Structure 1
Amino acid sequence: MAAAVARSGLRRMFSISEFATPNARMFSIPAFAPQNPPTPPPKADPSPNLFVSGLSKRTTTDGLREAFAKFGEVVQARVVTDRVTGFSKGFGFVRYATVEDAAKGVEGMDGKFLDGWVIFAEYARPRPPMGEPTSQPQQSWGTPSGSWGSHSR
């Protein structure tokens, strides 16, 4: 008997009949409302510096330089690597001699395969000056109410 009452209580609790009216909004709790998606950062102005993402762990600086040298004079190429493992972090930078060569490099390599991976090439955005806040908003979860490790005795 108690099990039957418990089952019917659960059915009532999880019933959606009260939400079945056409004007009722399901899940209208503001805390669970979706936030506006973040706006993507603006495209960088054309410059001789390119940011290349989607690189394979096997891609080397020389391989990156050779791939982009087909489209103009490469002054510098660098694959950013992990300090501990020495493997690629999946992105790098290429600097061309002119903005025109950089435009050809973006057009020629964006969305193409390099070492078996599709890579993306775009103009690099300048690094913000030290001490200046970034344009990306930081997520704030409020101030902590206490410390995990502190115990009052």
Structure 2
Amino acid sequence: MSEWCPIAKQYDPLKAGSIDGTDVEPHDRAVWRAMCARYKPNRGVVGDPLLTLFVSRLNPQTTEEKLHTVFSKYGDIKQLRLVRDAVTGFSKRYAFIEYKEERSVTRAHRDANKLVVDQHEVFVDFEQERTLKGWVPR
């Protein structure tokens, strides 16, 4: 129990896929695939991962401008990227927001999670791709 930490230091697909984190065998193929996956973070990603938030569950109609308006109240935004489908240009309903200061990231993470933006409750978390060892996309 002395190794317990409220925030994971290493990604474990088996624990992430378990309702209480105690599974010893994968209960479905998705968990099995995640356990076998090898992933290299995208080297084309720019910005400081410690100053970047992941925002998901966005309304498909939400724009970069709307996100900038909503999230700039927590601090100065250095960069904002609403991820879009390369072919259709439609929103994939998630974004990355990089702030200029750590206190802005902390404030936005604390206060913006479950915020309603364009009639959708959003999920806000710290970026994991470049900060959590062993992380694989789901």
Task: Give 1:60's aligned amino acid.
Answer: T
8 A Cα contact 1:75 1:96, kept in partner: yes
Between 1 and 2, higher relative CO (CA 8 Å, sep ≥ 6) is seen in: 2
**Match in the other structure for 2:3:** none
SS at match of 2:14: coil
Matches within 5 A, 1:3-18: none
* Alpha-carbon separation, structure 2, partners of 1:116 and 1:135: 30
Task: Give 1:39's aligned amino acid.
Answer: K
Please point out which of 33, 38, 42 is paired with 2:14: 38
Matches within 5 A, 1:1-153: 38-40=14-16, 47-127=50-130, 134-136=134-136
8 A Cα contact 2:52 2:98, kept in partner: yes
Task: Give 1:40's aligned amino acid.
Answer: A
* Alpha-carbon separation, structure 1, partners of 2:100 and 2:107: 12
1:56 is displaced (CA, Å) by 1.0
Structure 2: tracts of 5 or more residues without a match: 1-12, 18-48
Task: Give 2:64's aligned amino acid.
Answer: T
Question: Which runs of 4 or more aligned residues in structure 1 lie more than 2 Å from their structure 2 counterparts after TM superposition?
Answer: none
Structure 1: tracts of 5 or more residues without a match: 1-36, 129-133, 137-153
Q: Identity over aligned residues, as a percent?
A: 31
8 A Cα contact 1:106 1:121, kept in partner: yes
* Alpha-carbon separation, structure 2, partners of 1:107 and 1:135: 22
8 A Cα contact 2:128 2:135, kept in partner: no
SS at match of 1:77: strand
**Match in the other structure for 2:44:** none
8 A Cα contact 1:64 1:78, kept in partner: no
Q: TM-score, normalised by structure 2?
A: 0.59
* Alpha-carbon separation, structure 2, partners of 1:135 and 1:94: 19
Q: Which has the larger radius of gyration?
A: 1
